[in-house]
Copies of this chain bind each other. A is one copy, B any other.
Amino acid sequence: MRAEVVAVGTELLLGQIVDTNSAWIGERLALSGIDCNFQTRVGDNVVRIASALRSALGRNEAVIICGGLGPTQDDLTREAIALVMDAPLRRDAAVLKTIRDRFVPRGSSRTMPANNEQQADVPEGATVIPQTMGTAPGLICPVGDKVMYALPGVPYEMHDMMERAVLPDLRRRSGQAAVIRSRTLKTWGYSESGLAELVAGRVEALEAGGPGVPTIAFLASGIEGIKLRLTVKAADDDTANKALDAEEAELRALVGEAVFGVDEETMEGAVGRLLLERGWSLGVAESLTGGLVAARVVGVPGASEWFRGAVVAYDVGVKRSVLGVADGPVVTHEAAAAMAEGARRVLGANVGLATTGVAGPAEQEGRTVGTVVVGLALPGSVPHAVELRLPGDRERVRQLATISALNVLRRRLCATGGGT
């Protein structure tokens, strides 16, 4: 089964919007075992959209069209589909009523713009994917033994219709009885080649493949580390999950604490979970990261239960007056440890985490760009520091320093043991 994605919109061609929809759809198709060999972007022109759809139908069993279902004259996907199906557009009364109800809340005197009526046009022979969020319904449009799907360009509306209608229909058409499940182990601290060497034995062991045997993919994710993605095809969910559990255990035995999270778990979420287990609160002191550690931390749901706050001591005077760092150089183990202890004291936290270092562009205190010192102050132990060397320009050093600092704390909390 092969499917092509056709994204519609002149704004995509002009670079006013980056087409993230196609990437998302491509990933979902891959996880459903459906091949996607081409993706096309085309502007708001009915002849060119129809031509793109015909080419796509020529080389695939299914085409997923994204965008061009809105209410303006630039929204031409419905018309192009009708051309390709050689079928007239009919205004669907039930769809029109849903659109109207969405526009005119009960008892309101608002009226629906006439433009929106065209969103109820359905090519003869097509089936509607009911809209649950926006005003545009999706369409399932058979063409001989092939099929085109039309989805809105608004990402959350598109995601909803893909999961609810398109992927199930594609799976049914492909006769795919098996389920495909994946799980992502997120790691920090190894290079891609280092990680590959570590798990080479597992990759080899799984090479024979077959139903129920997972595959391993390495995904470099920039400042978020390297992901190991396990994917398995099995008869049912239960069998798939068991295979993933078993392989996850094998990999964790090799990679150990470099795995900081699974699937959606973030580094800062992992830190929060470990702090909560210990009943500890966190205070942060930031120099070169300038607020990035705190900004990541407050993004964790429920962070207020364990995060007290931060002191961004960008100016050296603030390091001394607020955090109590002694005179002398500030890119040192002593300064980082003093900052961590200062954060702990000033912010009234159990744990203090500090960053200092040289983001660039020039070296500082004779230390090279990329030198980062992370300070830690934990209950019942002497504050100390860990030194790192990070690559990249100013922005990249800052981003890497942020996640690295959180990882230093995570590793230390793991070593300290759980519970109270």
A-side residues, CB < 8 A to B, are: 12-20, 22-28, 30, 36-43, 45, 48, 52, 55, 219, 281, 284, 286, 289-295, 297-299, 303-304, 307-315, 317-318, 321-322, 346-348, 395, 398
Q: Which residue of the partner chain, among B16, B309, B318, contacts A27 with CB atoms under 8 Å?
A: B16
A347 to B291, CA, bound (A): 15
The reply to whether A318 and B15 contact each other, CB–CB distance below 8 Å, is no
Closest to A295 in B: B291
Given A290-B298, A291-B291, A322-B346: A317 in contact with B308 (beta carbons within 8 A): yes
Give chain B residues whose Cβ lies under 8 Å from the Cβ of A291. 286, 291-295, 297-298, 310, 312
A348 to chain B minimum Cβ distance, whole angstroms, is: 6
Number of copies of chain A assembled together: 2
User: Is the pair A40, B37 in contact by a Cβ cutoff of 8 Å?
Assistant: no
A25 to B13: give the CA distance in the assembly, Å. 9
Minimum CB distance partner of A220 in chain B? B16
Q: Known contacts being A309-B318, A312-B310, A322-B346, is A39 close to B20, with CB within 8 Å?
A: no
Known: A13-B37, A20-B18, A290-B298. A304 touches B315 (CB 8 A): yes
A23 to B, closest residue via Cβ: B15
Assembled-state Cα–Cα distance A15/B315 (Å): 42
Find A40's partner among B28, B38, B281 (CB 8 Å cutoff).
Answer: B38
Q: Is the CB of B284 within 8 A of A294?
A: no
Of B22, B55, B284, B318, which is within 8 A of A41 by CB?
B22
Q: Is the CB of A37 within 8 A of B45?
A: yes
Do the beta carbons of B314 and A311 come within 8 Å of each other?
no
CB distance from A392 to the nearest CB of B (A): 12
- Decide: B30 and A15 in contact? CB cutoff 8 A: yes
In the bound complex, CA of A281 to CA of B23 (Å): 44
Could you tell me if A39 and B55 are in contact, using CB atoms closer than 8 angstroms?
A: no
